[in-house]
Structure 1
Amino acid sequence: MSKVKYYYDPDTLSYRKIEAKKTTRFRNISLFVLGSFMFGLLGLIFLLNTNLINTPKELSLQREVKNYELQFELLNKKMGQMEQVLANIEERDNNIYRLYFEANPIPEEQRRAGFGGVNRYNALEGFNNSEMIIATSKRLDIIQKQMVIQSKSLDEITKLAGEKEKLLASIPAIQPITNKELTRMASGYGWRSDPFTKARKMHWGMDFTAPKGTPVYASGDGKISRADNNSSGYGKHIRIEHGYGYMSLYGHLSQYNVKPGQKVKRGDLIGFVGSTGRSQAPHLHYEVWKDDQRTNPINFYYGSLTAEEFENMLKLANQENQSLD
C-alpha cells in the first residue's frame, strides 16, 4: 500500500494531502512496467546462457553430447591400438618381408602422409567440439590410408613370394643321377685331358659314370627345348629351359623319356644314361647355363646332397683327370 504524502499550507496553517497528477502516475506506471520488462528480459537471457535452468530436452541433449564425447575418447584409444599394430606390421614389412624378397622399403613419409589440397573437413567446423571431431577424422583418414598402402604392399609381397617359389623350383638344384645309381663322378668342370686327343682342353660340364640305362632326372622345373642328337659331340641329349636365364643339358643318353615342348618338374625321369656321340664310356655329361653362359654345375647341388657328400664331390670335381667326352 502506497504511503500518503502531505504538505504544509501556510495560508491555511494546515497540512494538505498531496494529490498525484494523472500524467505523473501514468509515467511512473510506465517506467515500472518497462523496468520490469527489461529486468525480465535480461534475466531470461542470462538463464538461457547458463546451466542454472535447463529444459528436459536440453538435459537430454547434454547427455547425448557427453555420450558422444565418451565415444570419441574410446574411438581414439582404439585408433591408438590400431596404430601400434599397424606400426608393427609396417616394421616387419620393411625389414623382413620386403628385404627378403629384394623389394625397396616403403618410405616413412609416404606411409604417414596426410591429405593436402581442398579442406575436406570444413563441414565439421563451427561446432562446440569441432576441434576434437576434426582431429579424430584426420587421424582415422591417415590410418585408413596406411592400411591401403600396407594392403597393396602385402599384395606385392604375395606376388613376389609366388615368383620366388617358382624361381627356387626352376633352378637346376639337384644331381641328375641319384647317388645309389652312380658309379662315380668321373670328371668335373674345368681344364681336363681330352680322352681322344690327350690334349688339355676346357670341360664345360660334369661327367657322371653310371651303367647304360641308368635313369636321368630333371634337375629343376622347366620345359624341354630339345631332345635330339643334332648337336655335335653330345649325341642323344636333352635341354631343359628353366626360365630366369637357366638352362640344363644332359648328354650321351641312350634314350629319351620326354619330347620337345613337354613341361617337367624337378625329379621327373627324362632319359637314360648311354654312350652316344663323342663318348668313351657310358656316362652322363651334365651342363648348367646361366644367361647363355656355361657355369659350374657343382654350385647348384644344394637340393640333393648332404654336406659330406658335397665335400666329397667337390674334391673329385677339382681333380684334373681325363674327361669321358
Structure 2
Amino acid sequence: MAKVKYYYDPETLSYRKIEAKKSETLKKSVLWVLGAMLIAFFGFIGFSQFLMSPKERTQKRELENLQLHYELLSKKMEESSNILTELQERDNNIYRTYFEASPIPEEQRKAGFGGVNRYKHLDGFDNSEMIKNVTKEIDVLSKQMVVQSKSLDEIVSLAKEKDKMLASIPAIQPVKNEDLKRMASGYGMRMHPILKSWRMHNGMDFTAPTGTPIFASGNGTVKKAHRSSTFGKVVYIDHGFGYETIYAHMNKIVAKRGQKVKRGDLIGYVGNTGRSAAPHLHYEVHKNGRPVNPIYYYYGDLTPEEFVAMQKASQQKGQSYD
C-alpha cells in the first residue's frame, strides 16, 4: 500500500493530503514501462545462448572456428606465395642463366584457369565467397608450384650435365707452346701462302717442329681421322654440346675414328701435310656448326697476361701457313 503524503496549510491551520498530478503519474508510468522493456531486452541478449539448442551452439562454434582458420590459411598462403615468387625470380635470373637455359615466360607461370563456371558448385552457401576465394588462391598457388617443380627438375638435370660440359668444351692449347710468338696466324682474313689471295682463316696456326705432340683440347669422340687434299692428315673431335675441333696438317695421326679421348690426350704430331707452307698445326673450334675464334677457348691454359699477348699476336694481319 502506497504511503499517503501530507503538507501543512498555514491558512487553514491544518494538514492537507498531497494530490499527485496526472502528468507526473503518466511520466512515471512511461519510465517504468521503458525500464522494464530495456531490462527484458538485455536480459534476452545475455541469456540467448542459453536458449540456443545444442546443435545451434555447435554450428556457431564451427563457424567461428572456420573464420579463424580462414584468416590463418590466407596468411600462410600469402607467405607461401611470397616465397614462391622469390624462388621464381632466382630460378629465371640465376639458375637458368647459369646453365644457359631460357627463362620461363611470366605468362606461363601466372596462367589462370579457364571456364567462368569453374567454381559455380561452391555457390549457395552462407560463406560461398570466402570458400571460393580460398579455393581460387589454392588452385593458382598449386599450378605455380607445379611449373616451378618441373623447372627445378630441369635445373637438376642441367647441373648433372654441367661437369660433363665443362670437361668437354675446348679449353687448352692443342700444342704445348710456351713461346707465344710462335703462333704464326690468327682467326680472320689472311693472305693464303699458296693461292696468294685474301681468304677467311677459320682457325689459328701454331708453328712447331715436325713431330711436336698435339693434344685434344677437351673430352670428346674422334669423329674423323684421315687424310684430305687440303688439311692433309687431320683429326676431327666431336665434344658434344655443339662443339667440334679440327687439328690439321699432322705428320702422324695417333687417334682412331670412334675413339673416346679426354682433354690432354695425345692425338697426333705436328707435320706439313696437305696445303701447307711449313710445319705447323692448323687448329679450329666450331660451335653449332660454325667456326669461332679459338682464342676464346684457352681459359684452362693461359694466364690473363698470356691471353693478352696471344690476342695481340693473333690480330696481326699477314700471311697464314695454310
State TM-score, norm by structure 1.
Answer: 0.68
Provide Cα deviations, 1:123-163, integer angstroms capped at 9, x if missing partner.
x4444333322222222122112212222333445556667
Provide the secondary structure at the position in 2 that maps to 1:144.
helix
1:128/1:106 CA distance change after superposition, 3 Å = same
Secondary structure of residue in 2 paired with 1:287: strand
Q: 1:319 to 1:126 in 2, by over 3 A?
A: closer
- In the alignment, which residue of structure 1 is the partner of 2:217? 219
Q: Structure 1 residues 118, 292: CA separation in 2 closer, same or farther (over 3 Å shift)?
A: closer
The amino acid of 1:116's aligned partner reads: G
Q: 1:103 to 1:254 in 2, by over 3 A?
A: same
For 1:134 and 1:291, the matched residues in 2 are separated by 51
- The aligned counterpart of 1:20 is none
Q: 1:181, 1:210 within 8 Å by CA — same for their partners in 2?
A: no
What SS does the corresponding residue of 1:250 show, helix, strand or coil? strand
Q: Which runs of 5+ in 2 are unaligned?
A: 1-43
From 143, 146, 149, the equivalent of 1:148 is: 146
Aligned to 1:106: 105
Q: Paired residue for 2:8?
A: none
Give, in whole Å, the separation in 2 of the partners of 1:207 and 1:244: 25
Aligned to 1:256: 253
Tell which deviates more after alignment, 159-168 or 73-82: 159-168
Distance 1:200 1:139, change over 3 A: closer
Distance 2:115 2:152 in 1: 26
Report if aligned partners of 2:181, 2:313 keep a CA contact under 8 Å in 1.
no
1-structure distance, mates of 2:112, 2:289: 46
Change (3 A) 1:224 1:73: same
2:119 alignment counterpart: 120
Query: Aligned to 2:256, what secondary structure does the other structure show?
Result: coil
Once residues 155 and 105 of structure 2 are traced to their aligned partners in structure 1, the CA distance between those partners, rounded to angstroms, is 12
CA distance 1:300–1:137, shift in 2 (3 Å): same
Q: 2:298 aligns with which of 298, 301, 308?
A: 301
In the alignment, does 2:265 pair up with 1:268? yes
Please state whether the residue corresponding to 2:310 is helix, strand or coil. Answer: helix
1:235 CA drift (Å): 2.7
Which of 168, 172, 184 matches 2:182?
Answer: 184
2:264 is paired with a residue whose SS is coil
User: For this pair of structures, how many residues does the alignment match?
Assistant: 274
- Corresponding residue to 1:313 among 310, 314, 321: 310
Q: Distance in 1 between matches of 2:133 and 2:118?
A: 13
Q: Percent identity?
A: 51
Shift of 1:310: 1.5
Q: Deviations over 1:194-252 (max 9, x none)?
A: 2xx594554543221234443322223433121122x0143322112345654321123
* 2:237 partner SS: strand
Tell me the SS of whatever aligns to 1:236.
Answer: strand
Asked if structure 2 preserves the Cα contact closer than 8 Å seen for 1:94 and 1:106, the reply is no
Scaled by the length of structure 2, the TM-score of the pair is 0.68
Distance in 2 separating the partners of 1:95 and 1:291: 25
Is contact 2:190–2:319 with CA below 8 Å preserved after alignment? no
Q: Could you tell me how far apart the structure 2 residues matched to 1:171 and 1:60 are?
A: 70
CA distance in 2 between counterparts of 1:206 and 1:109 reads 45
CA RMSD for the aligned pairs?
3.6
| Corresponding residue SS for 1:145 | helix
CA contact (8 A) 1:224 1:259 kept: yes
The answer on whether the counterparts of 1:223 and 1:264 sit within 8 Å (CA) in structure 2 is yes
Letter in 1 for 2:127: N
